[in-house]
Chain A
Amino acid sequence: MVVPAGRTAHEILAEGEQYTDHPLNWSGILENREELSHGSDKFLEVKELWKIFGPKAEDLLQSDLKFSSKQEILDQTGCVVGLRNVSFNVRRGEFFMLMGLSGSGKSTCIRCLLRLIEPTAGHVLVNGEDICAFDKATLMSLRRKTFGMVFQHFGLFPHYTVRDNVAYGLKVGGASRVESYEKAQKAIETVGLKGWEDYLPGSLSGGMQQRVGIARALAKDPEILLMDEPFSGLDPLIRREMQDELVELQDKLHKTIIFVTHDLHEALKLGDRIAIMRDGEIIQLGTPEDVVTSPADDYVREFVQDASPAKILTADRIKEEPSLLIYEWQGPHVVRHLLRAARRQNAFVVSKHHTLLGLVTREGIDDLIKQGAASIKEAILADVPKCEPHTIVEDLFPLATSSHFSIAVTDSAGRFLGVIHDRTILDSMISDREETNND
């Protein structure tokens, strides 16, 4: 634990409260201040949530002892503090990360949102309704409709087939067999498991089992997706693949996602905002950029230190406007002129809708003109290195070395967003620190 010498627990706590009580003062949220002040943007509100494990937890909350450190409370009362005065808001459609080491309270926190663990005190508001005040039946229907949860150890039903696993949530909600199977099928296809419907989970690989877990959570089309370290149990290659697919899925589905992780890289890659927890408190809340550039304290700094820029920087951040862009309807002679004028050997070609079609080279155009063709279509090389805005720089290395062309950045619909030159990739590795500090 990184508690700087010379600071008392009270000081640390006071600092923590400052963060949790006044999240708007955080630089990263400044830009979103306007949005946050609207009630409708507080889709999920967590207010002063406490969880204390042990007998007489309520008595402890009444006393001043609750301001003592975790260890002091444990020594004096035998109670373990799971969550200490946690507050945050999540906007509709936001990808919200809860990050911390094991024992920091992140898993407890996400379970309290569904009341899988009953909070000792505090409120969880969904769409303005306090679910902590719900009775059993209302809570159950909330779980059936509004929430979907994905677990680290999958939590699949080993005696049910993939299809029955995914349909389970619909069936317990009272949906007919036909209807639940129909929706389950859709969810199964969404996660790319078509053809595996009749297998038992035990016969699938870890990555595929977690796809079943995700399909099961998605089947009832919940507004909020809770993910408790869903990819931690998978090997690194599969983990990255699943992260990429989750990003793609989120692009399509626009769920509100609360994602627990202990992996900073994962948090930086996926999150719109990150809440860093320690000893049951939120010690920093901000965008990935904030967390990296201005860590709240030594604890966060230590986290961030080993994050290499190649793993944080995304293509979106280092992409440039191309010096020359060719449109598909431009004729060969025009293109040759443009290339010469720009002193370029090649350039990307886009359609009317700015969709990337490929790349033309000067030799290709010269050949076309010799043949007397009227359109440049035949000279377009479609097979060019491409990446998406959220691709991290580390993943660009293989692309850059596999081709002598620059890398095109396109969105999921194939629209051209910018270009990344080999030189830019190298520059980004060196100048990242100064650049981010000047932001």
Chain B
Amino acid sequence: MTKFPANIQIPLATWVDELMDWILAHWGGFFDALGDILLQVLLYIEKFFLVMPWYVVLILVGLVAWRALGRWWHGLVMAALLFVIGTFGYWRLAMMTLGLVTSAVIISLTIGIPAGILMARNNLVEQLLRPFLDAMQTMPSFVYLIPALMLFGLGKVPAVFATIIYAVPPVIRLTNVGIRQVPQTVLEAAESLGSSSRQILFNVQLPLAFPSIMVGVNQTTMMALSMVVVASMIGARGLGLEVLLAINRIEVGRGFEAGLSIVFLAIIIDRITHALAARQRQFTSH
């Protein structure tokens, strides 16, 4: 009796396949159009990074890091890390990766923050969204590649699509948590002073949730970066592809350089967004 009876089975795989077929047959045009729009946005943002002279990017990153982290030599270190990526010969690929990450993050935030607000203000929405968010975060990231591939074909667009699905949950969750953590008395006070629910949202809830939202932005950005690397399997160019090629050809040195470049990018992005989040936290220690 160690075998599970073979006649009891749920053909979920078949259902999912059929659903995908149905979506492709009836909504193909919609996804084509969506893909085109996404592609335009992607190319535009990527171009922004590729067109800038390398030293301008270095100076900008240095300045932003200086402002965010508070010490001038922090800015210098961040710029130096980026400089090292350039010396590996990966400047262009790094900028492409940065472009993809930026696009994915911007789209994730435009979806994620309003979704988090909705979730915080409505218990039903929270109950409905929560299992989806759990699933999105626990599912291995590769799984998203398949439907993304089927809906949008090979290239940047499915890569960004898969990245968004993988990276959007933290910002939704942390926006929700941040708004829900605003003390009840503060809300009561705002209400007793005659605020509308819109005024409460913009004057009280969002400002007080801001540190938490920024932690969400940080996490979403980091997850987007890791996913962009994985998404190189379905045609996203950039540093991830370089790692993939190095693995396939067993070129340890090349893989090491590309991998190190990704780590450096991660450090730069993480430190800057993290510092922005921490800076706002002073109120909430109250």
Contacts and interface: CB of A to CB of B under 8 A. Distances in A.
Contacts of A169: 193-194
A147 B191 CA distance: 11
Interface stretch (A34-42, A150-158, A361-369): A150-158
A159 interface: yes
Contacts of A152: 185
B283 interface: yes
B192 interface: yes
A151 B193 contact: no
B185 A153 contact: yes
Given A159-B283, A202-B283, A147 B190 contact: no
Contacts, number: 72
Contacts of A116: 188, 191-192
A154 B189 CA distance: 8
Contacts of A142: 194
Contact of A143 (B183, B191, B203): B191
Interface in A267-309: none
Contacts of B181: none
B215 to A, nearest CB: 17
Contacts of A201: 286
B191 to A, nearest CB: 6
Interface residues on B, range: 20 to 34
B183 A144 contact: no
Nearest to B284: A158
21 contacts: A140-B194, A140-B196, A143-B192, A143-B194, A144-B193, A145-B194, A148-B192, A149-B193, A154-B185, A156-B189, A157-B186, A157-B190, A158-B186, A158-B283, A158-B286, A159-B208, A200-B283, A202-B282, A202-B285, A213-B189, A216-B193
Given A140-B194, A172-B195, A157 B204 contact: yes
B186 A156 contact: yes
B185 A141 contact: no
Given A157-B186, A159-B208, A202 B194 contact: no
B189 A151 contact: yes
B199 interface: yes
A226 B285 CA distance: 28
A140 B194 CA distance: 5
B189 A155 contact: yes
B28 interface: no
B283 A153 contact: no
Nearest to A219: B193
Nearest to A152: B185
A96 interface: no
A149 B185 CA distance: 11
Interface string B266-286: 000000000000000011111
A111 B189 CA distance: 11
A141 B191 CA distance: 11
Contacts of B207: 159
Contacts of A162: none
A44 interface: no
